[in-house]
Amino acid sequence: MGYYPIFMEMRGRKVLLVGGGHVALEKIGKLVESEADVTVVAPALIPEVRAFIDAGRARLLEREYVDGDTAGADMVFVATDNGAINRRVADEARGRGLWVNAADDVANCDFILPGVARSGHITIATSTGGASPALARWLRERMEAFLADEVVALGDVLAELRVRVRARDRECAAGCDRTQPPPPLLCKTCPNRIPPDRWQEAIDAEVMDLLRAGNREAASARIASAIGLDRPLLART
C-alpha cells in the first residue's frame, strides 16, 4: 500500500454515506463535525444515525442504494457489511473519478481513515495502514491521554503568538525591498525572521510547568522572549 497521510478541508464537500447502522454512525459524526454536506442512503437507520437527520445535520434517502446515487458527490463512504454492495458502490464512484472508502474493505478503498484524537485545536491521527484496527484503537487512546490540558493550552498560546509574529513580519516587510511572497514573506537574511528551531527550543520544561499550573500569560511571555518577539525590530544590515 502507498498511503499518504493528509488532512482534507471538508467544509461544504458533498459526501454520500451508504449505510445506516453502527458503522455509519462512526462515520457520520466526524463528517458533520467537519461541516461536510452529508447525504445518507439506507433503507433503515439506527436511532443514533437518525438523530443526525432529524437535527438537520444530514439528508436522507430512505431506501436501498441504486445506481446513479453517487452522481453529484465529491466523496463516497460505504458503511455496510455487504461486500457485493461495497464493490458496486466503489466501482460506480471510481468510474466517476470519486474517492471512496469502504469500512473494513481495503480492496474497495481509495483511502482509509486514521484513528483520531482531538482536543481543542489539536488533532492527532494515527494509522496502521489497515493492518490492525486493534492497534489503531490502542494508539488513539494513548494519543487522547497525551492531549492533556497543558498541551491543548500550548496549542492556543502558540497560535496567538503566531498571529503576533505575522503582524510583526508585515511591519518589517513594509520597509524592505527584499520581501518574498508569503510564506515566508521575510527574506532568509532578515534579522527579524524567526527560525523554526527557535520555536521548538522555546517550548521548554518551564513553559509546560506554567501551563500545567494554568498560568498561560507567563508561559506566553516566556515563549515570546525566547523567540525574540519582545524586542524591537532590528534594522537590516
What CATH architecture does domain 1-113 belong to? 3-Layer(aba) Sandwich (3.40)
**Predicted confidence (pLDDT) at residue 58 exceeds the cutoff of 70:** yes
pLDDT band at 221 (very low <50, low <70, confident <90, very high): very high
| Of residues 125, 149, 129, the one with CA closest to residue 139 | 125
pLDDT band at 184 (very low <50, low <70, confident <90, very high): low
The confidence score (pLDDT) of residue 189 equals 80
Domain chopping of the chain, boundaries: 1-113, 114-147, 149-227
Buried b (16+ CB within 10 A) or exposed e, 33-42: eeebbbbbbb
Q: Under CATH, what is the fold of the domain 114-147?
A: Double Stranded RNA Binding Domain (3.30.160)
d(CA 225, CA 230): 5
pLDDT band at 1 (very low <50, low <70, confident <90, very high): low
The confidence score (pLDDT) of residue 183 equals 72
Length of the chain: 237
CA atoms 94, 27, 150, 138: torsion sign: negative
d(CA 114, CA 123): 11
Rounded average pLDDT over 12-34: 95
**Over the stretch 104-131, which tens digit does the pLDDT of each residue have?**
788 889 998 888 898 988 999 988 887 7
Rounded average pLDDT over 44-58: 97
pLDDT band at 176 (very low <50, low <70, confident <90, very high): confident
Phi and psi torsions of 44, nearest 5°: -150, 150
pTM of the model: 0.77
Rounded average pLDDT over 78-103: 93
The confidence score (pLDDT) of residue 47 equals 97
Mean pLDDT of the chain: 91
